[in-house]
Each structure stands twice: as C-alpha cells, then as structure tokens.
Amino acid sequence: MVTGSLGSCNLIDTSARQPQSPRTSKYNMSGSTTLSSEESPAYVRQFSNHPHADIILRTRDSHEFRVPKVYIIDSSPILTDLIRTSPCPSNPNAVQGISTDAGTSLPVVQLSDSSCILSSLLSFIIPVAAHLPSTAVEDTMELLSTAQKYEMDLVLTRIRDHLARQNPPLIRGENAFYVYSLAQKYGLRREVDQAARLTLKVPMSIEVLESTGKLDVLSGALLHQLWDYHERVQEYLASDLTTFMMFGIGPRINFRCIKLSSSDVPIWLNDYINSVAMNPALFNLSEFHMALTRHVIPSSSHSSRCCQSCASIGSATIDTFWTALSDVVQHSIENEPRRFCLLQV
C-alpha cells in the first residue's frame, strides 16, 4: 500500500490544521488569506507546480491546489457544476475566479474541505502516488465521505480498492463498533454494513460491551440498531443451522461417537452449532476445538467416559466440516435481508 511520505497529515505535518502565521499569509483579491506554497506541507506542495494547472482549489484552511481541471471535471459532476456555474462577483467571465498574488490568473474554487483531505482525494484523481490522509480511521472515513459528497463513484472505488489492500484491514473486529459509529456519522452505507458484520464477533451483551468500552463509542440509537441486527442474524442462523444439522452431510463427522443425536450428529457438535446460533461470536475454530476437547476429555467426574473415536477425527474431516459450516454462517449473515438505515448521530 502506498501511504508514502506525503500521506500522514497528522503525523508528518500538522501545519495545515494550525492557524496560519501572519508572516506566511497573503491576501488575495477577495480579501481572504492564503498560505505561500513554500510554507505549505509536502502533501500540498505536490499539487503546487503542475505544468498544466488551469484551476486553483482552495481549502477551508487556506491552502491552494493548482491542478488541471480536466481531472476534476472527469471525476465529479458536483465539482463540475461548481466550476462551471458559480458566479464570479468580480469577473463574470471567470468561474468564481480571482487572481492570485503570484502573478497567475487562474480561477479559484473555494471548497469546504481541509487540505489534508483534499490532498488525499486528489491523489486518487491525478496521476500521483495515492495516499490516505493519515493513519487515523476517522480521517479515512472523512475522505470516503468527501468522495461520496462530490459523487465521485470511480474515485470511491479506487479508494476502497486501496483500503482493501491494507494490512491490517481498516475495519476489523477490534474497531468494528467504533468504525460503525463513524460510518454512520459520515453516511457511508457500505462501511456501515461491513462494520456491523464484524461486530458479530463480539457477544452482544451489556456487560461485555461495557467492560470493553464499546458503549462509549455508540449512541443509544446506534446501539439499539445494532442490537436488532444481531437478533435478526441469530434468527436466520438458528433456522439455517437447524437445516444444516438435519440435512447437511458436514455435521455427521463421526458415526462412532459415543453419543449421537437423532440426526446422527455427535451431541457435542450439535450443542456447539446451537451455541453459534445463539451467539455468532462463538463461530471460530478455537471455540470449536474447545468443544471437541471438552467432549474427548471430559473434566467432570459425572461424565461417563472419554470418546476415543472423536479423539481420532482427522484434520481433513474437520476441514471439510468447517468449510461447510462457514458457508452456512456466511450465507445467513449475507442474506440478512433488512438493510441498515443511516442515522443522524
């Protein structure tokens, strides 16, 4: 992944987010201030000398990006309209244009975005090394939201492809609740869905959420929505896994088990699959092997005897079973039919 030296607005150069120094400020013809290119951070300077620049994009923190507008017009109908239709109070023939004090007369379009976000966004539009705004998840969410705001469908795909190659992934089990909250805040439906699915790796109980600090990142409305989602997934899982145990070949991994269900599924496996339906967070190989171990080596004196037969189940058999179970779980989660609405948080 390319997140090179230009990429970390927070880590490398925070000047874009700091109040500008009077020494480096300039006044343009509109009376607003701009920052000199020499004093700009590297992620701004990379867009200061494009040989074919014919427009200036000015950010809310007063940095200017000189770029060929053909890239912008090709990428965003929203920015195209802004460039073409915004009136210019001082020059009706220009497009929201004002002359800069650098001796150029390029039109200027004022944007509400920060230089950190715009620099990253432009890196996915103009042929330079693509970079994310920073290592902070929220900055990446804001970048996606900005591309979505400008209806940059292709750019959104590029950014998401870029993110998909990250290791570790942007959205993962340990930050799923936080990302879910951010994705709702920034109106990113795809990321809302991705994060919601990953929250299934965590048991949905108030005690667990409170002890792991996850309640701190969720509003009451978001918690309620996620709670409903978990319940719906459990309903689908319960139905699909019941069918799997009755008719699937996978669960019949050992007919010689000392205790089989009426469907010829080892009871310990029957119990494990039922527990996954109740709590999808138990769907992982560690929990599976723990269930097998408890059956093979019972710890309680009340247990009858060890099951030598299940102790000798081969790894290939377990792999086949796990693949079949994974398909069922995946299918249930992906076919959970109700989609999330985006909430105002």
Q: Which helix (DSSP H) or strand (DSSP E) does residue 52 occupy?
A: none
Smallest distance, Zn ion to C-beta of residue 282, A: 19
Which residue, 257 or 291, is less far from Zn ion as judged by CB? 257
Residues 197, 233: Cα–Cα separation, whole Å:
10
307 counts as binding Zn ion under rule CB under 5 A: yes
Smallest distance, Zn ion to C-beta of residue 289, A: 14
Among the candidate windows 22-30, 90-98, 309-317, 327-335, which touches Zn ion by CB under 5 A?
309-317
Smallest distance, Zn ion to C-beta of residue 221, A: 46
Residues 250, 324: Cα–Cα separation, whole Å:
6
Which residue, 133 or 266, is less far from Zn ion as judged by CB? 266
Smallest distance, Zn ion to C-beta of residue 242, A: 21
Going by C-alpha positions, the residue among 165, 329, 338, 317 that lies closest to residue 253 is 317
Among the candidate windows 79-87, 153-161, 168-176, 300-308, which touches Zn ion by CB under 5 A?
300-308
Which residue, 296 or 343, is less far from Zn ion as judged by CB? 296
Which residue, 107 or 250, is less far from Zn ion as judged by CB? 250
Q: What is the Cα gyration radius of the chain?
A: 28
* Dihedral angle of Cα 206, 212, 216, 217, to the nearest 10 degrees: -100
Residues 183, 192: Cα–Cα separation, whole Å:
5
Smallest distance, Zn ion to C-beta of residue 281, A: 25
- The token pair at 187 is 């109106």
Count of residues of this chain found to bind Zn ion when the rule CB under 5 A is applied: 4
Smallest distance, Zn ion to C-beta of residue 310, A: 3
Residues 232-291 that bind Zn ion (CB under 5 A): 257, 266
Which residue, 287 or 336, is less far from Zn ion as judged by CB? 287
Which residue, 128 or 296, is less far from Zn ion as judged by CB? 296
Residues 174, 158: Cα–Cα separation, whole Å:
25
Which residue, 217 or 296, is less far from Zn ion as judged by CB? 296
Q: SS3 for 266? A: strand
Going by C-alpha positions, the residue among 110, 116, 119, 117 that lies closest to residue 28 is 110
Q: Which helix (DSSP H) or strand (DSSP E) does residue 47 occupy?
A: none
What are the backbone angles phi and psi of residue 57, rounded to the nearest 5°? -100, 120
Smallest distance, Zn ion to C-beta of residue 291, A: 11
Sites of contact with Zn ion (CB under 5 A): 257, 266, 307, 310
